[in-house]
């Protein structure tokens, strides 16, 4: 029995990766939820919006690395992030003007907008692949670890190491800052309040003199910002590949729906619920159990509930459970 | 110009395009495009049944197509000698146990009074059942996968012939097609029971998920269909090219038509496939048309146009939705089994949602949702474009870059990325059609 080692192993393999992944999903799900709350459709192009923003960040990062600009120990990508955000905002606003605006004026049914967003998804996916290609790209630089597993072992004398990667720390810190800023914006500023009013009751908001086009524009700008940040953090933590970003759509949707689609607080909670379920269900628990179980009871297998390839199945099953038993999500939907 | 003339003209245009491509790229390619066009048209018919008739938003087509492909393997391949006796019984028992667990949990949930006790009992049943299921499944799977892992390592299928002679049993593949439809129908029933009746975009997200899960299962459960190791050399309902080439009568006939035996045999085989596929398409089209114009079809459209009113008239909306969801998915399953038969192999790694789900949606939207003829036209046209955009893109890129230096990086990049033009073109076509002709090329009457 060795609880200390068990706790360290748990933190190293489950808690820290789960928190980082959860933050990435949460920021992604915030974007989906905002589009749903204000524009009232499920945006299938969100994964590809993330990919596009990240692509610009990568291109600028490469340029900066070539020009010798760096942030010291912090990845250069953070310096390139504002450029990516601006690029993504431009793309999303152009898309809104040329594509979505028409349907908004027609007051088209939400499902039509979903189908339109499928077309947009194709185009954005095409643009990204056209510019950067369909392959894996890595753009993280700087030291990989804040504490490496070996240093930790030397420091504490424990058997288990606790490695904390730079990207994980940055992910969590950025997520906290982004979420705080977003909530401050939505609750305290005039623009944010008009967005919430518009989401709550469109007609009433129009009557009180809120300019709908301005609200929509603000929404798209925030969504593009969130998408680029989520995409860059995910790319730094793992790797950038356009197809993976398209696939992230499922866990992101699951997070938004589990939390209650349209509700920002729910999106964050949903992101962590999905991330932790994925990590705990696909993790091989043997490593931790050997420390807490008496030797005679030690498991012989890996004690992995499901192979990692089934991680989509996990988000899906949780999604299904929530849809069946609590269709409004953990938090009540439709309130920004 | 009447509708009939216009529609005929549209089809003539599409087939002329395919024929022109035959002159430039060879008849083998053209007939292959035609065959895949027929399969795409069948998938589009299935999706149109769901979306056009009933307004159901299914983005899990890929999963149903893949299930059809799985059926082709499970019906067409011979049983692997020794695999079933090694672990087959155990796997079957484990699966039964898994189903039993879910049924027991559902039964308990229905029968017990609401409260903490019920949740506790259901959780215990599920957790205990899951571990029992894994304890029974894992060792048996290992046993099956140990049977000659390089060549088989899976249970095999139901083809009664032996491992050496199974390819002589050609017609079994025709049985595999409806079985593929039934597999897809089963999955559709499960997902429909859970997700229909919820809001439309929830169904979309649920189907997106089920498709990914089906592909994950097919990639990972090696005992079922060898996973990413693929199953090759499926039997096929048409003769083999090699046999034709060694038949004197065929060589003579091909020579009389001016073909050498190799080219003649490949074209002949593809034409036979085209005939078979057209027959299936014809039957499904006739059935869909009948359904569309029947009282059942009118009821579906009434539900689609105003659910509340239809419900007030006493129509069982959820039941009709489930019905049409199952039927449409089954059609996609049939098409999937046909496609795997045409390929001669099952490769779970190649199923991608953009190609197998969203492209079919482009076909339905461009052809005209709610119109069966439109879906078929969309199937042929979009498939043709999907195949041709790449060479056309390359051609355009060659022209654009012709002025640049041979070793310019931009030139190399542009020519490399011509292959990525497909997605963009499809997206642009879809957006343009939705904007300027939302009812499609052949609108619903």
Instruction: Using pLDDT thresholds of 50, 70 and 90, give the confidence band for residue A300.
Output: low
Q: B206 vs A307: CB contact, 8 Å cut-off?
A: no
Q: Judge contact between B380 and B281, C-beta under 8 A.
A: no
Single pTM value for the model: 0.92
Return the structure tokens found at B362.
Answer: 């482009």
Question: What is d(CA A301, CA A284) in angstroms, rounded to the nearest whole number?
Answer: 9
Strands (E), B12-122: none
Contacts of B424 in chain A (CB under 8 A): 122-123, 126-127, 130
Q: Is A294 helix (H, G, I), strand (E, B) or coil?
A: coil
Report if residue A335 sits inside a domain.
Answer: no
pLDDT of residue A271: 94
From the number of C-beta atoms within 10 Å of its C-beta (0-12, 13-18, 19+), residue A39 rates as buried
Query: What is each CA distance from B393 to A9, A130, B387, B388, in whole angstroms?
Result: 52, 12, 11, 8
Question: What is d(CA A311, CA B420) in angstroms, rounded to the nearest whole number?
Answer: 28
pLDDT tens, A69-80? 887 778 889 999
Give mean pLDDT, residues A4-23: 89
How close is the nearest chain A Cα to the Cα of B427, in Å? 4
Find tokens 């215990």 and name the residue: B124
Q: Is the pLDDT of residue A335 over 60?
A: no
Q: How many domains does chain A have?
A: 1
Query: What is each CA distance from A336 to A33, A185, A208, A258, B267, in whole angstroms?
Result: 9, 11, 18, 16, 61
Mean pLDDT of chain A: 88
pLDDT of residue A133: 86
Q: A126 vs B425: CB contact, 8 Å cut-off?
A: yes
Best mutation target, B361, B430, B433, to test chain A (most A CBs within 10 A): B430
The kind and range of the H/E element at A64 are helix A46-67
Q: What residue segments make up the domains of chain B, in order of their start?
A: 3-82+147-436, 83-146
Q: Is B282 helix (H, G, I), strand (E, B) or coil?
A: helix
Q: Which residues lie closer than 8 Å to B180 by C-beta, 6 or more apart?
A: B67, B68, B69, B70, B71, B72, B333, B334, B336, B337, B338
Among chain B residues, CA nearest to A44: B205
Return the structure tokens found at B81.
Answer: 């000698």
Out of A99, A110, A133, name the one closest to residue B431 (CB): A99
Q: Domain of residue A27: give its range.
A: 3-325
Contacts of A324 in chain B (CB under 8 A): 194
Interface of B with A in 100-139 (CB under 8 A): 130, 134, 138
Q: Is the pLDDT of residue A334 over 80?
A: no
Return the structure tokens found at B59.
Answer: 């983005």
Residues of chain B with pLDDT under 70: 1
Report if residue A332 sits inside a domain.
Answer: no
Mean pLDDT of chain B: 90
Out of B212, B352, B427, name the one closest to residue A312 (CB): B212
How far the first Cα of chain A sits from its last, in Å, is: 48
Question: What is d(CA B416, CA B412) in angstroms, rounded to the nearest whole number?
Answer: 6
pLDDT of residue B394: 84
Best mutation target, B135, B431, B440, to test chain A (most A CBs within 10 A): B431
ipTM above 0.85, yes or no: yes
Give the relative orientation of helices A16-39 and A190-200 as an angle to the nearest 10 degrees: 70
Return the structure tokens found at A119.
Answer: 């077309």
pLDDT of residue B71: 95
pLDDT tens, A118-155? 999 999 999 999 899 888 988 888 777 888 878 888 88
How close is the nearest chain B Cα to the Cα of A263, in Å? 16
Q: B194 vs A126: CB contact, 8 Å cut-off?
A: no
Q: Is the pLDDT of residue A304 over 80?
A: no
CATH number where A96 lies: 1.10.3470
pLDDT of residue B115: 84
Q: Judge contact between B99 and B364, C-beta under 8 A.
A: no
Give the relative orientation of helices B359-367 and B421-436 as an angle to the nearest 10 degrees: 30
Query: What is each CA distance from B133 to A309, B93, B191, in whole angstroms?
Result: 19, 9, 22
């Amino acid at each position: 029995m060795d609880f200390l080692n068990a706790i360290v192993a748990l933190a190293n393999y489950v808690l820290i990766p789960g928190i980082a992944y959860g933050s990435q999903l949460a920021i992604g799900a915030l974007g989906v939820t905002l589009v749903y709350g204000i524009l009232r459709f499920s945006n299938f192009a969100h994964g590809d919006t993330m990919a596009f923003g990240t692509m610009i960040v990568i291109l600028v990062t490469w340029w900066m690395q070539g020009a010798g600009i760096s942030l010291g120990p912090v990845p250069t990508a953070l310096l390139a992030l504002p450029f990516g955000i601006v690029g993504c905002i431009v793309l999303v606003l152009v898309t809104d003007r040329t594509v979505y605006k028409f349907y908004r004026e027609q007051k088209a049914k939400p499902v039509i907008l979903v189908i339109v967003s499928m077309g947009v998804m194709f185009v954005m996916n095409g643009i990204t692949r056209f510019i950067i290609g369909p392959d894996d790209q890595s753009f993280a630089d700087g030291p990989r670890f804040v504490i490496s597993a070996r240093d930790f072992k030397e420091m504490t004398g424990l058997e288990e190491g606790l490695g904390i990667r730079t990207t994980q720390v940055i992910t969590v810190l950025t997520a906290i800052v982004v979420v705080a800023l977003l909530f401050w914006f939505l609750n305290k500023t005039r623009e944010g309040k008009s967005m919430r009013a518009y989401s709550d009751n469109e007609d009433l908001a129009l009557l009180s003199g809120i300019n709908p086009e301005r609200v929509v524009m603000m929404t798209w700008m925030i969504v593009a910002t969130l998408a680029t940040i989520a995409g860059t953090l995910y790319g730094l933590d793992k790797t950038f590949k356009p197809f993976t970003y398209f696939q992230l759509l499922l866990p992101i949707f699951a997070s938004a729906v589990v939390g209650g689609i349209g509700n920002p607080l729910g999106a964050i909670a949903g992101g962590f619920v999905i991330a932790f379920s994925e990590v705990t269900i696909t993790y091989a628990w043997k490593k931790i159990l050997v420390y807490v179980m008496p030797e005679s009871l030690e498991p012989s297998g890996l004690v992995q509930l499901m192979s990692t390839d089934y991680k989509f199945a996990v988000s899906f099953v949780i999604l299904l459970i929530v849809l069946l038993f609590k269709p409004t999500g953990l938090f009540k939907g439709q309130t920004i | 110009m009447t509708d009939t003339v216009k529609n005929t003209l549209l089809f003539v245009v599409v087939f002329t395009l395919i024929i022109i491509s035959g002159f430039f790229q060879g008849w083998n390619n053209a007939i292959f495009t035609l065959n895949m066009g027929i399969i795409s048209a069948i998938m589009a018919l299935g999706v149109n049944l769901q979306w056009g008739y009933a307004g159901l938003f299914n983005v899990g087509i890929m999963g149903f197509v893949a299930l059809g492909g799985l059926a082709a393997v499970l019906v067409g391949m011979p049983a692997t000698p020794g695999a079933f006796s090694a672990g087959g019984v155990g796997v079957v028992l484990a699966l039964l146990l898994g189903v039993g667990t879910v049924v027991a949990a559902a039964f308990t949930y229905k029968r017990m009074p609401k409260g903490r006790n019920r949740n506790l009992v259901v959780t215990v049943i599920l957790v205990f059942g899951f571990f029992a299921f894994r304890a029974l499944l894992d060792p048996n799977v290992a046993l099956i996968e140990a049977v000659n892992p390089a060549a088989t390592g899976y249970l095999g299928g139901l083809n009664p012939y032996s491992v050496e002679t199974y390819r002589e049993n050609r017609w079994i593949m025709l049985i595999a097609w409806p079985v593929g439809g039934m597999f897809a129908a089963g999955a559709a029933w499960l997902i429909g029971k859970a997700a229909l009746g919820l809001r439309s975009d929830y169904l979309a997200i649920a189907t997106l998920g089920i498709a990914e899960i089906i592909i994950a299962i097919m990639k990972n459960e090696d005992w079922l269909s060898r996973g990413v190791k693929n199953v090759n050399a499926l039997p096929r309902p048409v003769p083999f090219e090699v046999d034709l080439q060694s038949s004197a009568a065929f060589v003579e006939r091909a020579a009389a038509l001016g073909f050498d035996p190799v080219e003649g045999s490949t074209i002949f085989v593809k034409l036979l496939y085209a005939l078979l596929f057209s027959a299936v398409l014809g039957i499904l089209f006739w059935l869909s048309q009948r359904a569309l114009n029947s009282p059942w079809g009118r009821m579906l459209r009434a539900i689609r146009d105003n659910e509340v009113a239809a419900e007030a008239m006493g129509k069982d909306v959820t039941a009709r939705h489930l019905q049409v969801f199952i039927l449409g998915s089954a059609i996609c399953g049939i098409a999937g089994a046909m496609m795997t038969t045409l390929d001669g192999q099952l490769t779970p790694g190649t199923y991608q949602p953009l190609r197998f789900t969203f492209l079919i949606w482009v076909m339905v939207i461009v052809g005209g949702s709610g119109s069966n003829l439109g879906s078929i036209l969309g199937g042929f046209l979009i498939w043709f474009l999907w195949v041709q955009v790449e060479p056309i893109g390359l051609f355009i890129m060659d022209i654009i870059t012709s002025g640049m230096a041979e070793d310019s990086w931009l030139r190399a990049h542009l020519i490399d990325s011509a292959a990525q033009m497909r997605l963009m073109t499809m997206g642009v076509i879809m957006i343009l059609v939705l904007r300027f002709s939302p009812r499609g090329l052949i609108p619903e009457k």
